[in-house]
Structure formats: C-alpha cells, structure tokens
Amino acid sequence: MARHLTLAAILALTLAACGGGSSDSGDEETGAMQRLSTQQEIPASMRGKPAKQFFGAQPVAAALPPAPFGSYAKGCVAGAAQLPETGPTWQAMRLSRNRNWGHPTTISFLQDLSRKAAAQPGWAGLYVGDISQPRGGPMTSGHASHQMGLDADIWMLPPKSLSLSRAERESISSISMRRANGAYTNSSWTRQHHEIVKAAASDPRVARIFIFPGAKVQMCEDEKGDRSWLRKVRPWYGHHYHFHVRLSCPPGASGCANQAQPPAGDGCEEARQWVRNILNPPKPDPNAPKVKPKPKRELTMADLPGQCVNVLQAR
C-alpha cells in the first residue's frame, strides 16, 4: 500500500467489510455469476424494490440443497443451517436478529473453532455474532457482506458463561480491543485472542479474517513460529469489538464467486502502514478534484444472481 492514502482512497476504504461496501481490496467476483438478464424474469412483486425487504422477511432457510450463490456482497444462500442458540462451547448472540444461519460449512467451522477457543485459559468458548439471514441476501441493517452464509463475526469478549438467557444476549456487549483509534491494542488484548485468531486463519476453509490494524501488527510482532497464517489476517476499519471470518466458496459450489487471494507475504508491512496513517494521517491532496459521494443505491433482485429468486420462492 502506498505510504500516503489519497482522500478518495480513504473514503473508499471506510466502506468496511461488515458495514458498507465490499471488503478488503474489493469483492472481486472471479466466478461466473449467473445473473438475471432482464427484469421480466423477476416476479412483478419484486421488481425495483430493495432486495433486503424480501430476504429480511424470511424466517427460515430455503428447503433446497445447500449452495451459496453470487458474491459476499451480492448473493444469497440455499439450504442454510442454523447455528444452535447454545452449544457446549458457544452461544449465538442477538437472537432477535435471526442471523445465526449460514452455509453448513460455516456452521461446522464455528463449532470447531469454539472448541479450540474453549481450550484457551479463561475462555469457555465463543460468543458468535452475526452470520447471515436464513436465506442470506442483503441485510436489513448493518452489513454489506454476509450475504452467502460464508461470513461470521466472532466477539472479542471472552465468554465466562455459556448460560446467558435470550434477554441477556440482547443487552450484553462485546469489548473493544483498540487503543489510539486502532493503531494499537489495549490492555484487554491477550495471547488467547492471538491464538484464537491464529486457529481461525490456519483453517483451510478460511479465506480471510478482518481485524483492526493494531491487532494485526501486534500479532506480527508476537508470532515467533510459522507466520504463513498471517497472510489471511487483513487490517480493516472497525473490527475491534469482533473479528470477521470469511470462508472460501465450498468445493463444488459453482455459483459462488471467491474473492481474489490476499497478496503474497505475511501482510505485516501493509498493516504497519495502516498504523502510520492512523497516527499521522496523510494531508489531503489540494489538487484532487472535489467529488461529492453518490448516495449508496439499495440492491434490488436484478443485482443478484438469478438463483436468488428461486431461493426466496422455495418453501
């Protein structure tokens, strides 16, 4: 990454992985997305309306074979599985959102990671935040990605209890790990956080992990063994109350588009540059054209793969 980001680049980068826009260096749709060619193929009742209102209204998964369609920020998922509200080493949080659904591969991964977390001193397992809606798709609030059931947010808060009530899961909050606006970790960051992120990044099912820059740099400084897993850990805005895990498209998922591979290397120097830019923000280019950002357009069914109409219409 260049030593100094332009103002335009900063504005683009602030579209965070979990918040708005595609994540990391962009959602490069390398797979062949089967899209609807005309609006005539979309039921009249769905045309021109925000797709999030249709996906957000679905209470359960589509009774279809498991399959992700599209890309992380423009897609849906058939045959999603629900992460049980409580397990031996996890609890799903914010149950009122009904976002504890994902591709079966994602659910299996989260259960596996929670067992590894439970082996860490002081951790009973994991608190799992948003995964996806029952049929994926654009969310009614909060996320631009998480649309194929292959993204999940893991709380930074070490669980002391796995017997929280539904009401407690609505009121409890995770804790921030950042200091100096994300340039450094604070005193709540522990070696256990390092090991859990490392376990996630070392899993071959995982494509990327998004976390605030100071945490990436701290892990770069502390890791003395195999550093290959650090390549998957990408610095990103926010992501200091949770870290975001993104899985690769499962084998055989022909309708699913992977994001481009991260750049070669451990990515530590790039993360250090993010930190330098936080501590010493680059001055705006006085010669840069003043461009007023366009309002973000709501995704409609015409923006999504054609299979997503079938996913919505399935029982």
Please state the rounded mean pLDDT for residues 190-214.
98
How does the average pLDDT of the chain come out, rounded? 89
Distance CA 123, CA 62 (A): 34
Residue 297 CA to its chain's centroid (Å): 20
pLDDT at 26: 40
CA distance 80 to 48: 26
253-303 tens-digit pLDDT: 999 999 999 999 999 999 999 999 999 998 888 888 888 888 888 999 999
For residue 222 the two structure tokens come to 């502390």
Query: Pick the residue with more confidence: 156 or 294?
Result: 156
Q: Are 126 and 87 in contact (CB under 8 A)?
A: no
Q: What is the CATH number of domain 7-17+35-313?
A: 3.30.1380.10
Per DSSP, 91 falls in state E
pLDDT tens digit sequence for 132-150: 999 999 999 878 899 999 9
Token pair listed for 191: 């070696």
Residue 121 has pLDDT above 60, yes or no: yes
- pTM for the full model? 0.87
pLDDT tens track for 39-81:
458 999 999 999 999 999 999 999 999 999 999 999 999 999 9
DSSP state of 208: E
Q: Are 130 and 110 in contact (CB under 8 A)?
A: no
Intra-chain end-to-end CA distance of the chain, in Å? 47
